[in-house]
Structure 1
Amino acid sequence: MIKNFLKERRSWIVLFICLQFLVLFSGYIDSAISFMPLLYIVFLSTLIFVIFLCFRFHKETKFYTALAEWENDLDLTNIAEAESPFEKIIEDSIVNQTELLKQTVSNNWVSVEQEKDELLSWIHEVKTPLTAMHLMIDRLEESPIKAQISLEWLRIHLLLDSQLHQKRLPFMKNDLYIEETDLKSLLFKEIKTLQTWCMQKRIGFEVELEAASVLTDAKWLAFIIRQLLTNAVKYSEESDIVLRSFIEGDRSKLMVQDFGRGIDKKDLPRIFDKGFTSTTAHHDNASTGMGLYLTKKISESLLIHIDVLSEPGVGTIFTLTFPRKNEFGAILGM
């Protein structure tokens, strides 16, 4: 700040120095003027000028130091009060711009809220005929056509479900209910949802639950498992998917293992990125690249750690590590 102050007052300092040299030069060339008294006057005036600069530095930089330390968080209480007319101009400009920005943010937030509510309302409206359609499909006799219709219904259902959770994600902290969640009922419910698709691809499940329950939010955990199972089924053919829960140390873990296509090594660091759809099957237009992104975001909010092991042509293992019970204060207070 001192360097900036001196740079700002550079022209005044140069002018003062030039005036002192002018006084000394006048005494030097005019023999009628005693040189030593002039030198004494220049010394005193220079000393006074330096003291004056120090005083002005504290007074003039107080406002700008507060601006430099301002965190740009729209909170103007930490900014020092303007004292000079020019500082007042800056203060008025900042206040006006901040108020305008607050108003813009408020209007945008209301707009986002309205759009979210409208989309959620639309999704729930669409789910009603989808439910009726599912009941009608169940009444049809078993046939290849029924299997195909059921599969297309499932795809629509999963897409709507993903959209629903994507819109709810920013407000997830308002929708959490931490409780002991029975893994068996949750897993079998998700397996049943994918049953038609699994039968078509001849995929079975091996379920081994050493840890019968975990402490988490059941609804959001169901979405995570749904995404992992959907990916496992999508990239597998005529093989089993292994679901195994166990306790390691003081943490519960859930493993989802498939023996499908696997993930290329260069893609592993990016699978949770928004919109990433794999480089080995870039032609797969059915993939949105949102499933694993949402899974990661939700897992982070629930303090669930996800590990991934995969080898092309061998399969993929997703392991969910649940937090300790004493860590849930961080979830509820986020």
Structure 2
Amino acid sequence: MSYWSYLKSSYLNAFIVAATAMLCCFMLMVAGTGLAIALLVAALIVFAGILESVTSYLQRRSFYRDLSTGAADVEHPLWITEMIHRPDFIEGEIVYDALRAISKAANDDVAEYRRQTTDYREYVETWVHEAKSPLAAAHLTLENLVDAVPADGDAEAVLRKADALEEELDRVEGYIEQALFFARSETLDRDYLIRSYSLKALVTAAIKANARAMIAARVAPMRKDLDIEVFTDEKWMEFILGQLIQNSVKYARPEGAVIEFSGRVLQSGQADERIELTVRDNGCGVPEADLPRVFDRGFTGENGRGGKRSTGIGLYLVSRLCDKMGISVRADSTEGEGFAITLVFPANKMHYFEH
């Protein structure tokens, strides 16, 4: 920024100084002061104006030069406020503070998008790896299916292999569904429809969708106090409940396995009224040391590393989707006795639109 361009931008100040000098000179002459004194006073006023203008220009020149140079030369302009000093004049301070706030918000957005991209890429890689195993098993089962047909027409062996094939294909379908909901989770606010639904209806639909896996694992469902209405999205909630069922099935005990769905209302009639839905199983449970990390992406824990074919994605998606919908979620467990997930629904529908 040149001094001439600065003067052009502050022409009003120059006009005020000149007008003040002329007015003082005129008033002094009218008062009978000699011309020389009047001109001297006018000259002093003009000199003071020029001095102030030069000082102000030097202050601003340093800041604006650093700002323009930094914006052109810095590899990442979003960090420009880290490369220059905060000025000591009011306009510069306002500009600097505004740029710093914008820079921080933009950098936060960039960091969040990078995290989302990294999470999505790593998840797709994990999903592709996991999807290959059941597909390979399905192909192998199909190849053996023909060989397993007995000569006397007994179809029992064929049916067993067909069931095994169907189970593997169900796993593939589950992984594909996980990928779909993961991809949609960032834009969930444009994809859900909040309405009032019965907990019993939501639980029944989730059990029906996962019935084959529950039957294969000999897991019996139990329902308790589910005649409660909650505000949620039917599709997303059925997926969440499905992930909880699949998690319980995966770690079910060989005999007498049970999944219990129970509901209750807390602070009924009050401003903070809420509804809890607890999904509890009597499986192997989770060690106390692992419990705080069960919702971490990719975390499988000690039991998950014991050949249970766990990916550590299901509960992570449950936590992520619940957070998007403003539903609290917590985990409780006693190792060797069972595992429980509790979903807490706000009773006020407006909470979902404010979240």
TM-score, with structure 1 as normaliser: 0.60
1:152 aligns with 2:132: no
What letter is aligned with 1:247?
A: V
What letter is aligned with 2:248?
A: A
What letter is aligned with 1:183?
A: L
Q: Matched residues in 2 for 1:143 and 1:197: separation?
A: 16
1:113-138 deviations in whole A, cap 9, x for unaligned?
xx99xx9xxx9xx9xxx9xx9xxxxx
Q: Matched residues in 1 for 2:232 and 2:201: separation?
A: 14
Q: Is the 8 A contact 2:278 2:341 kept in 1?
A: yes
Q: Matched residues in 2 for 1:227 and 1:91: separation?
A: 49
1:233 aligns with 2:240: no
**Which residue in the other structure is 2:73 paired with?**
93
Question: For the structure 1 residues 143 and 96, does the alpha-carbon distance in structure 2 shift closer, same or farther, using more than 3 Å as the test?
Answer: closer
**Which residue in the other structure is 2:182 paired with?**
166
Secondary structure in structure 1 of the residue aligned to 2:297: coil
**Which residue in the other structure is 2:287 paired with?**
264
**Which residue in the other structure is 2:340 paired with?**
317
What letter is aligned with 2:72?
A: D
Q: Is the 8 A contact 2:198 2:226 kept in 1?
A: no
What letter is aligned with 2:170?
A: L
What letter is aligned with 1:318?
A: I
Q: Aligned ranges for residues 67-216 of structure 1 at < 5 Å?
A: 82=64, 84=65, 86-93=66-73, 97=77, 143-216=159-232
Secondary structure in structure 1 of the residue aligned to 2:346: coil
Secondary structure in structure 2 of the residue aligned to 1:245: strand
Q: Matched residues in 1 for 2:262 and 2:200: separation?
A: 10
**Which residue in the other structure is 1:243 paired with?**
261
What letter is aligned with 2:70?
A: I
Question: For the structure 1 residues 285 and 59, does the alpha-carbon distance in structure 2 shift closer, same or farther, using more than 3 Å as the test?
Answer: farther
What residue ranges of structure 1 are gaps of 5+ in the alignment?
A: 1-50, 64-81, 134-139
What letter is aligned with 2:324?
A: S
Q: Matched residues in 2 for 1:171 and 1:200: separation?
A: 35
Q: Is the 8 A contact 1:211 1:246 kept in 2?
A: no
1:214-270 deviations in whole A, cap 9, x for unaligned?
111111111111111111111112321111122122211111110000001000011
**Which residue in the other structure is 2:311 paired with?**
288
Q: Matched residues in 2 for 1:241 and 1:212: separation?
A: 19
Question: For the structure 1 residues 91 and 159, does the alpha-carbon distance in structure 2 shift closer, same or farther, using more than 3 Å as the test?
Answer: closer
**Which residue in the other structure is 2:59 paired with?**
59
> What's the offset of the Cα at 1:56?
7.0
Question: For the structure 1 residues 62 and 220, does the alpha-carbon distance in structure 2 shift closer, same or farther, using more than 3 Å as the test?
Answer: farther
Secondary structure in structure 2 of the residue aligned to 1:262: coil
> What's the offset of the Cα at 1:146?
3.4
Provide the alpha-carbon RMSD of the alignment. Answer: 3.7
> What's the offset of the Cα at 1:314?
0.3
Q: Is the 8 A contact 1:236 1:260 kept in 2?
A: yes
TM-score, with structure 2 as normaliser: 0.57
Question: For the structure 1 residues 58 and 203, does the alpha-carbon distance in structure 2 shift closer, same or farther, using more than 3 Å as the test?
Answer: farther
Name which of 321, 336, 342 aligns with 1:298: 321
Q: Is the 8 A contact 1:305 1:321 kept in 2?
A: yes
Secondary structure in structure 2 of the residue aligned to 1:89: helix
Aligned residues: 232
Q: Matched residues in 2 for 1:96 and 1:202: separation?
A: 58
1:186-233 deviations in whole A, cap 9, x for unaligned?
222221222222222221111123443211111111111111111111
Secondary structure in structure 2 of the residue aligned to 1:288: coil
What residue ranges of structure 2 are gaps of 5+ in the alignment?
A: 1-50, 79-102, 139-154, 268-272
Question: For the structure 1 residues 214 and 93, does the alpha-carbon distance in structure 2 shift closer, same or farther, using more than 3 Å as the test?
Answer: same
Q: Matched residues in 2 for 1:322 and 1:200: separation?
A: 31
Name which of 201, 209, 217 aligns with 2:233: 217
What letter is aligned with 1:332?
A: F
Q: Is the 8 A contact 2:251 2:308 kept in 1?
A: no
Q: Is the 8 A contact 1:252 1:322 kept in 2?
A: yes
Percent identity of paired positions between Structure 1 and Structure 2: 26
Q: Matched residues in 2 for 1:177 and 1:226: separation?
A: 19
Q: Matched residues in 1 for 2:197 and 2:58: separation?
A: 62
